[in-house]
Amino acid sequence: MVSMEARRRATRFPIAAPLLFREQGDSEWHQALTVNVSHSGVLFLTDGPPPGGGAAVDFVLTLPRHGVAPAPNLRCTGHVVRIGPEDLAGGGRTVAITIDSYAMGSLRA
């Protein structure tokens, strides 16, 4: 298991990519946009309701497209480690989630 200190030290890459998320057990997906991505987690911005602190989440990250190939989807599970304050200008919030497991694939309910 990777310590929280090691997770925070992971190199972050500023990638703005579409992300869908839901708390595990929920059927409704919510849209978001990544702020940055590392090997251990994702920081995203959502205008909708954020998942609860510590909640287990499913999320699908659409990776940037290369050439003519379709954009790949990374299907992940993780949990919420931090929820930022509401952004008064845009109404959104940042949410930091771990990447506990992942696989390439499409969105399936």
Fold adopted by 4-104: Thrombin, subunit H (2.40.10)
pLDDT value of residue 109 = 45
pLDDT per residue of the chain (109 residues) written in tens, 0 to 9: 555 555 556 899 999 999 999 999 999 999 999 999 999 999 999 998 899 999 999 999 988 777 777 778 999 999 999 999 877 677 689 999 999 999 987 655 4
Taking the C-alpha atoms of residue 18 and residue 33, their distance in angstroms, rounded to an integer, is 5
pLDDT given at position 56: 98
> For residue 66, what pLDDT is reported?
74
Question: Where in the chain are the domains?
Answer: 4-104
Distance CA 29, CA 90 (A): 21
Other CB atoms closer than 10 Å to residue 90's CB: what's the count? 9
